[in-house]
Structures are given as C-alpha cells and as structure tokens.
Amino acid sequence: MLFDTGSCEFWIPSKECHTKRCLTHTRYTRSKTFTPYNHAKIAIQYLSGKVTGDMAKETIGVGGLIVPGQVIGIAKEVEIPLLDVCINMNNYCVNFYNNMLY
C-alpha cells in the first residue's frame, strides 16, 4: 500500500487488481461496510505511473481509531511501486503492527 502523504488521495489495491504491482502485496477485499460512492472512478497519474479504479465508502481503522464512511479509492490497476509499510496520518507513521514511528 502506498499512502501519498503529499496529496489528498487515499486508495488501496483491490483483490480485483491483477497487475504485477498488486499481486505481491496485501490487497483489499470488500467488507460488510463497503458502499459504492456515486459510481465515481479514480484515475491518478503519478510521476512513477498511474492508478485507476472505483471510489467507495468504507470503515477504516488505524490502531484504535475507527472512521466509518471514509471515501477511498479501490484500485483495480496499479502501475506504481507499492509499499506494505505504513500509513502516515498527522505527521505520525502508524504501521500495521500498531507501533508509532516518528
């Protein structure tokens, strides 16, 4: 997962993504709280490649913080390098093992 801290996009690779970049990383599977978001699509062009997919509302959790109804991108095509390292929120980096990194 790549969380671009220099922009407002929040997207995650989907189980439906079968590009080389997705296949070796953790991918999102729809949960009970998944809701399509107005049939909206994402198409983001980065310097290193592009990301395309659908927009949705989902409950997102980081550590003890739970955000219901967060609008996110569900990437179906990813052509940029991915990281399974951390999510940066408010200048703190929280990895998937609930450790705070500064």
Residue 17 pLDDT > 50: yes
CB neighbours of residue 27 within 10 Å: 19
What's the CA gap between 91 and 65, in Å, rounded? 15
Residue 85 resides in a domain: yes
As for how many domains the chain has, the answer is 1
Cα(63)–Cα(55) distance, rounded to whole angstroms?
23
Residue type, 24: T
pLDDT at 12 over 70: yes
- The CA distance from 64 to 70, in Å, is 16
Dist. CA 76–CA 78, nearest whole Å? 7
Residue 92 lies in a domain: yes
Residue 54: which CATH number?
2.40.70.10
Q: What are the pLDDT digits (tens) for 21-77?
A: 888 888 888 889 999 999 999 998 888 889 999 999 998 887 788 889 989 899 999
Query: pLDDT band at 6, cuts 50/70/90?
Result: low
| Residue 2 within a domain | no
What pTM was estimated for this model as a whole? Answer: 0.70
